[in-house]
Amino acid sequence: MIHHLRGRLVEKTPTYAVVECDGVGYQVHISLNTFEQLGNEEGVMLHTHLVVREDAQLLYGFSQPEERSLFLLLLGVSGVGASTARMILSAMSVEQATQSIQAGDVNAMKSVKGIGAKTAQRIIIDLQDKLGAIDAPMTTGSTGGQGAHNNSRQEALIALTTLGFDRARCEKTLDQTMKESPDMTAVEDLIKHALKRM
């Protein structure tokens, strides 16, 4: 099991990062929360979990151990796979997800793409008593500079389609979001707002 990676960040997108450790580049699937936390520092450390499937071995990385802990708890819920768990951690911060589960907020969990009422209820029932050990840190968003709209839109579009959304729908949603909030240039903000509309 690969517990963590400490190395040089050579590539970063809203859905994956590439970390080079002693000449070996590891492609690590990440959430939007981790994307925000990575920032632009070249030296990084990611807490990891390896998901082994019949057709692939996928390495997931997290900027904070609390996020990995919640990811693993979510994987333990029947009907919740790695993609769904990452979607939850992209739509909400660890603190928001923890609070929603502890409060029994089914609607908040249902707002995440791919989660219906039954799955939302199952997550809450299974995890309400298991979240006491997670001390969720506050996460802060990064901001983009002027003139970053086109690049941010493109990165957000790639991330959303990678997560499984229809491209045409993503483009329409992003255009509406940017029209209503012209000052929003951070990729993660665009994606989070789009996820709420999808």
Per-residue tokens: 5: 């990676």
Is residue 176 within 8 A of residue 197, CB to CB? The reply is yes
**pLDDT value of position 150:** 66
**pLDDT value of position 142:** 41
**pLDDT value of position 136:** 43
Q: How far is CA 193 from the centre of its chain?
A: 13
Name every residue whose Cβ is closer than 8 Å to that of residue 186 and which is 6 or more positions away in sequence.
141, 142, 143, 144, 152
Domains and CATH numbers, the chain: 4-62 (2.40.50.140), 65-130 (1.10.150.20), 149-197 (1.10.8.10)
Q: pTM of the full predicted structure?
A: 0.71
Burial of residue 53, with CB atoms counted within 10 A of its CB: 0-12 exposed, 13-18 middle, 19 or more buried:
exposed
Is residue 84 within 8 A of residue 122, CB to CB? The reply is no
Coil vs helix vs strand at 167 = helix
Apex CA 96: angle with CA 29 and CA 8, to 5°? Answer: 30
Is residue 92 within 8 A of residue 112, CB to CB? The reply is yes
Residue 42 to residue 30: CA distance in whole angstroms: 17
Residue 22 per-residue DSSP state: T
Is residue 96 within 8 A of residue 90, CB to CB? The reply is no
Rounded (10°) angle between helices 167-180 and 149-162: 140
What backbone phi and psi angles, to 5 degrees, belong to 152?
Answer: -65, -40
Pairing outcome for strands 43-52 and 16-21: unpaired
pLDDT per residue as tens, the chain (198 positions) = 789 999 999 999 999 999 999 999 999 999 999 999 998 888 999 999 999 888 989 999 999 999 999 999 999 998 899 999 999 999 999 999 999 998 999 999 999 988 999 999 999 999 987 775 554 444 434 434 434 566 788 788 878 877 778 878 888 888 888 888 888 878 888 888 888 887
